[in-house]
Structure 1
């Protein structure tokens, strides 16, 4: 990783109404967490910033062009010097009808968020990031 770069990649916990859009990772050689459930996102290209990275990856993986104003920064994960930004974005339930799977990974799905948190086949560090996000959202005024 270029030492000038502040981050390695970015992910988005993308909600379509009450569901979470997820991908199942493929089994490409050298890919971490093969076959596991994951959030849209990935490694930065060129001099992308975290927002540009996650918007590009979401377009490539799910065919969705997100409004950057929907993104809320949630978490910064440092794994061995690889800093990854995690965002949340909430869209309408109809967002699932706009998904055009881009072929990165094995499949995509819209699932209840707690199914991801509790799934033994979800990327384990991301399960905790989502659980913390959901807990923080519950504490906000006007939230159930």
Structure 2
């Protein structure tokens, strides 16, 4: 399946790892809380895309077996994949923030979903994951 990018809802313990986007008018959702992920490179799979972007943005190396949920949805620029993974809270000590964004934080997932600066379509996907995983 063709796709344009992938995102990862990465839980460190009970909290979600979020990235504050740069505050520039030339990017989508400036100054909003984002999730690790981004655009596809070459012929990589959706999982490879999400994991590569996570490494580039926060320095964490995860494996495909760490991904516990995957769904795709349509955006104006094409199909996007959304994944979820759960890791121990101590992994935050290994974060090495990359050169995109203003910083990172940990946030309870429901706080992200309700946050006025959450990227709206990521909050929708996260709500779907939370509802499925709770049920």
73, 83, 102: which one pairs with 1:106? 102
Q: Are the equivalent residues in 1 in contact too, given 2:9–2:36 (CA < 8 A)?
A: yes
Q: Alpha-carbon deviation of 1:74?
A: 2.8
* Structure exhibiting the larger radius of gyration computed from Cα positions: 1
Q: Is the 8 A contact 1:73 1:85 kept in 2?
A: no
The answer to whether 1:76 aligns with 2:72 is yes
Over aligned residues, Cα RMSD in angstroms?
Answer: 1.3
Aligned length: 135
Among 7, 14, 26, the residue aligned to 2:22: 26
Please point out which of 109, 122, 133 is paired with 1:126.
Answer: 122
The change in CA–CA distance for 1:33 and 1:81 in structure 2 (over 3 A counts) is closer
4+ aligned runs moved over 6 Å, structure 1: none
State the alpha-carbon separation in 2 of the partners of residues 58 and 121 from structure 1. 20
Q: 1:9 matched to which residue of 2?
A: 5
CA contact (8 A) 2:10 2:85 kept: yes
Tell me the alpha carbon deviations over residues 5-54 of structure 1, each in whole angstroms, 9 at most, x when there is no partner. 70000000000010100101113453111110011000011111111111
Specify which of 111, 116, 127 is matched with residue 112 of structure 2: 116
Q: Structure 2 regions of 5+ residues with no counterpart?
A: none
TM-score (norm 2): 0.94
CA distance in 2, matches of 1:97, 1:125: 29
Asked if residue 56 in structure 1 is aligned to residue 52 in structure 2, the reply is yes
Structure 1 unaligned regions, length at least 5? 140-144
Does the 8 Å contact 2:69/2:129 carry over to 1?
no
